[in-house]
Structure formats: structure tokens, C-alpha cells
């Protein structure tokens, strides 16, 4: 059940199209700082309650990142694996037309689960506005000859997670990067780019996972070789040499750093006691509940919250919205992620024994309240 408070949700729009069978909804959580910003996910189980919670995360994420966006999110109830390419196109078109009254004036879309840059092309064209969504293909133009699309495939979220990790290590005064072991839960868009930058920096990348399981090698995984295996074999578990285990075992590995980059609630009441990492960077949304975070905090584990660590995606969206090129986008992601992670860590230091999510929330809420005045 959707919970309402002083910040929202401001509007919940549920839409349906009889011809295509499209059934979806948009939750505009808060527009104090600007139009609600958040992706569209397409799954057979997506619900208004799920979307509302994610829209609130976007409200806080944008406020903390210092972006002129509010929080929003959309869902389309459908199983893309059961759709033809043409059927999916028609459903996306129908959804884009249905929410045109609020988009892009009060809501700006983006890709999320099972939605990519081709879908954002369809969405923008059907909506009639290039400003209606971000994450469009790089060759999609506002004017002839002017590129404006910055696809999420550029890896802005993983790039931001990498920089949040560096700031956390600086805070912990960990010196020798080459001795620090890293496990990355999920080898998709976020995980692959986080692994790329961390490996290039010299970290010992020892484990990662996908839907088929996890691969672990205590001596380290070769990033380029792993990418080739993933592309050719469709799973990281075919990488050799290494030990293959069940995917969820990744949180139990004896590593210094755990980066979550895929499954919600991967760390929960049943397994949190098995976590051995001393630093967790939340590249995925809601990898654990605040209650579980609190239990790990009491164990002395430093956790960089999702809406701090994985804001690279929405910062990239802002860069696209403003017409920046990819090079400037990466500079902006680095600048904002580093600045905001440091601010949260500094404030947490002032407030002894206070977990980072609480501090980050306080900062985000204070910015919203100042705007409301």
C-alpha cells in the first residue's frame, strides 16, 4: 500500500490501452526541485507500491545529487520475453502517448528494467518531445547534426559507484589498493563498468555473479577475459580458472569490499550475519532494508547507500537533458559523486555512531524543506 507524507506522492497516474493491452502507471513523488525524474521498468509483477517506493528514492537521490529534478518512476505490467519486438514497440508507444499530459512537464522518463535505448527512441517519438526521456540513443538529435542522446550503456552508474568506492577507501584510510579484494554482485550494466574501472585502478577483483551463479578466484579475475566469456557464453560461470557457486553466496565471501549491483534485498535478515566485507557500496537500488543496514552498521561495516553511490545514472540523465556531450557527462558524474559522498561521510563523522543513510536522508530532506519555504 502506498504511503503518503508531506513530500508525496503528488500524483499517481494509471493508464490502459485496450488495443495493445498496455497497462501501466507513473508515480510523481515530488516536484519541489523540478519535474519528477525516474525510469520505466517493464516486468509482469511491477506494482504501484513498488514504483512509489522507487519514486521516493529518486526524490532523495536527486535532492542529494543537487539536481533540478524531483522524484518519479513508471511501470508497465508485461513480460517482454513473451512479446515480439513489434508488440513491445506498440506497448511502449501506447504508454508514451497515455502519459503525454504529464510528460515532460511534470515527469521525465528513462530506461529501467527491461527497457533500453531503443525503447527510449520509441518513447520520445511517440510522446512528441525529445525532453520526455533520457537514455536515448547517441544519434538521436534535437536538431540536425546535434547529438543529444547519452545511453545508459555508457556506464555512468558504474563509473559513479567506482568513485564512491574510492572516496570510502580514502575515508577508511586504506592505503594499498592492490591488496584490497572486491566482489561485485551482478555483472550487468552497473557491475561491468564498476569492475572495469576498479580493475584498471589496480584493485583485486575476485568475484562476480549473474543469474546462473557466481565465479570466484582469490587470485583475481581478468576483467577483459571475463567480459569475453560473458559475451560468448552468456554467463560469468564459464570463466576459468575459478570456483562456481550459487549467486547469493557472493555476500558471504571473505573480501574487503562488496559492491551490490543487481538484486534487491540480496542482503537480508537470513544472511546478513554471514557478511564479511568491511565496506559495502550499494550500486543497486534497495539491496537491503534500512533495518538490515542498521544491523551491519552496528557490526562496524561502512555502507555507502544506494541513492548516494548509484546516482551516476541520474546525473548522466541531467547531462543529457542539458545537451552535454559524454565527455562532459563523465566529468559531472565524477564531480558530484565525489563531492556528495564526501559530504555524507563528513557529516556522519560529526554525528558519532550515525549510519550514512540517516545522514544522507537528513541532507536530502533539508534541501527539500528549504525549497518548500
Distance (Å, whole) CA 109 – CA 119: 11
Contact 258, 185 (CB under 8 A): yes
Q: Which three cell numbers stand for residue 364?
A: 536530502
Enter the C-alpha cell of residue 300.
Answer: 562496524
The DSSP letter of residue 178 is: G
CB 182 within 8 A of CB 198: yes
How far is Cα 117 from Cα 54, in angstroms, rounded to an integer? 20
Instruction: Give CA–CA dist 32/38, Å, rounded.
Output: 15
Burial of 13 (0-12, 13-18, 19+ CB in 10 A): middle
Q: Is 19 a catalytic residue?
A: no
Least Cα distance to 195 among 162, 148, 233 occurs for 162
Angle of helix 189-201 versus helix 223-233 axis, rounded to 10: 160
CB distance 231 to 208 below 8 Å: no
Non-local CB neighbours of 57 within 8 Å, separated by 6+ positions: 71, 285, 286, 306, 307
Among the options 37, 73, 88, 230, which is catalytic? 73
The CA–CA distances, whole Å, from 285 to 50, 157, 219, 227 equal 12, 11, 29, 24
Among positive and negative, which fits the CA dihedral 239, 240, 241, 246? positive
Active site residues: 73
Amino acid at each position: 500500500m502506498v504511503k503518503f507524507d508531506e513530500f508525496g506522492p503528488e500524483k499517481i497516474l494509471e493508464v490502459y490501452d485496450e488495443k495493445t493491452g498496455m497497462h501501466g502507471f507513473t508515480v510523481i513523488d515530488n516536484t519541489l526541485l523540478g519535474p519528477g525524474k525516474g525510469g520505466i521498468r517493464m516486468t509482469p509483477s511491477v506494482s504501484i507500491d513498488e514504483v512509489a517506493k522507487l519514486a521516493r528514492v529518486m526524490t532523495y537521490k536527486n535532492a542529494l545529487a543537487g539536481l533540478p529534478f524531483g522524484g518519479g518512476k513508471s511501470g508497465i505490467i508485461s513480460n517482454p520475453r513473451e512479446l515480439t519486438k513489434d508488440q513491445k514497440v506498440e506497448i511502449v508507444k501506447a504508454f508514451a502517448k497515455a502519459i503525454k499530459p504529464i510528460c515532460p512537464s511534470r515527469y521525465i522518463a528513462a530506461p529501467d528494467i527491461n527497457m533500453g535505448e531503443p525503447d527510449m527512441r520509441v518513447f520520445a517519438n511517440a510522446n512528441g518531445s525529445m525532453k520526455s526521456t533520457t537514455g536515448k540513443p547517441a544519434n538521436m538529435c534535437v536538431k540536425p547534426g546535434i547529438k543529444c542522446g547519452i545511453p545508459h550503456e555508457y556506464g555512468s552508474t558504474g563509473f559513479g559507484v567506482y568513485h564512491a568506492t574510492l572516496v570510502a577507501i580514502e575515508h577508511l584510510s586504506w592505503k594499498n589498493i592492490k591488496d584490497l579484494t572486491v566482489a561485485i554482485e551482478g555483472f550487468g550494466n552497473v557491475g561491468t563498468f564498476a569492475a572495469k574501472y576498479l580493475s584498471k585502478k589496480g584493485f583485486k577483483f575476485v568475484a562476480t555473479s549473474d543469474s546462473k551463479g557466481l565465479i570466484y578466484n582469490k587470485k583475481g579475475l581478468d576483467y577483459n577475459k571475463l567480459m569475453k566469456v560473458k559475451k560468448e557464453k552468456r554467463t560469468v560461470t564459464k570463466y576459468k580458472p575459478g570456483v562456481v557457486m550459487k549467486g547469493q553466496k557472493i555476500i558471504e565471501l571473505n573480501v574487503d569490499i562488496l559492491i551490490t549491483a543487481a538484486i534487491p534485498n540480496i542482503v537480508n535478515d537470513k544472511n546478513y550475519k554471514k557478511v564479511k566485507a568491511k565496506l559495502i557500496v550499494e550500486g543497486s537500488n534497495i539491496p537491503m532494508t534500512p533495518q538490515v543496514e542498521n544491523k551491519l552498521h552496528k557490526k562496524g561495516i561502512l555502507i555507502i547507500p544506494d541513492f548516494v553511490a548509484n546516482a551516476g545514472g541520474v546525473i548522466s540523465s541531467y547531462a543529457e537533458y542539458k545537451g552535454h556531450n559524454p565527455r562532459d557527462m563523465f566529468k559531472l558524474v565524477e564531480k558530484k559523486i565525489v563531492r556528495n559522498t564526501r559530504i555524507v561521510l563528513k557529516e556522519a563523522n560529526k554525528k558519532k555512531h550515525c549510519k550514512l543513510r540517516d545522514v544522507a536522508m537528513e541532507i536530502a530532506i533539508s534541501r527539500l524543506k528549504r525549497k518548500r519555504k
